[in-house]
């Protein structure tokens, strides 16, 4: 099964800053639900995995990403990706073309993904795959916007951290407990409601 997914969104940040983040897999992977990089082979080849959660059950999918093109002057990128589920019952190949342009004082991000799916996932059909992909992309955009916003507040946070460190050196208070780790697994049930609503809207023409 083959399908094409397109997404256009805007962020109120300068194009060079947006490019800096989008062109760095180590930075951008934190915005992709359930994804992580497991190995950096070189500057253009990476290995990673995606964790999919159905209630208490987790499934892992391993994959590879190849950066075919990173044109900083044109703010254009081409990525190739392929993945295989841990049980060997399905696979997916993807080619992504991304383009950044300056717009209204910010940056418009436009990317198109040509996806080819084999195995169990292909049985769901392109329409359902597009519904799920749209929800994931919306979540990605939200995460990416939060990442850029956090970067804007980084200088103030660094100053506050330095002040807190100086205070701690002169204090006898117990050290602060580390923050709990965040479970970045994709929660499939969280997507199900939106997908089902989309299905019935189409079914009844609403």
Contact residues for 18 (Cβ-Cβ < 8 A; gap 6+): 11, 100, 107, 109, 148
127 vs 118: which has the higher pLDDT: 118
Q: In whole numbers, what is the pLDDT of the chain averaged over residues? A: 76
- Cβ-contact 184, 51 below 8 angstroms: yes
- Cβ-contact 14, 107 below 8 angstroms: yes
Domains of the chain are 2-148+185-203 (3.30.530.20)
Indicate the range of 44-48, 102-106, 195-199 predicted with least confidence. 195-199
Q: pLDDT tens for residues 24-48? A: 988 888 888 888 899 999 999 999 8
End-to-end Cα separation, the chain, in angstroms: 27
- Helices then strands (H, E): number in the chain? 5, 8
Tokens of 1: 């099964």
pLDDT at position 140 is 87
pLDDT surpassing 50 at residue 156: no
C-alpha to C-alpha distance for 1 and 4, rounded to whole angstroms: 11
pLDDT at position 179 is 39
Under the banding of pLDDT at 50, 70 and 90, the label for residue 95 is: very high
């Amino acid at each position: 099964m083959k399908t094409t997914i397109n997404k256009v969104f805007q962020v109120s940040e300068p194009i060079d800053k947006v490019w800096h983040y989008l062109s760095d897999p180590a930075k951008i992977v934190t915005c992709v639900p359930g994804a992580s990089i497991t190995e950096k082979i070189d500057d253009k080849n990476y290995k990673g995995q995606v964790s999919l959660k159905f209630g208490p059950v987790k499934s892992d999918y391993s994959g590879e990403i190849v950066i075919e093109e990173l044109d900083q002057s044109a703010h254009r990128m081409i990525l190739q990706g392929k993945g295989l589920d841990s049980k060997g019952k399905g696979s997916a190949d993807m080619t992504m073309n991304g383009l950044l342009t300056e717009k209204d004082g910010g940056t418009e991000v436009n990317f198109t993904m040509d996806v080819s799916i084999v195995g169990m996932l292909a049985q769901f059909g392109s329409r359902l795959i597009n519904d799920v992909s749209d929800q994931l992309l919306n979540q990605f955009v939200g995460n990416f916007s939060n990442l850029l916003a956090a970067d804007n507040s980084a200088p103030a946070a660094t100053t506050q951290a330095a002040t807190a460190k100086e205070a701690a050196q002169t204090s006898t208070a117990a050290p602060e407990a580390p923050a709990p780790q965040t479970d970045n697994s994709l929660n499939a049930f969280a997507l199900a409601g939106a997908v089902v609503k989309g299905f019935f809207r189409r079914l009844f023409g609403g």
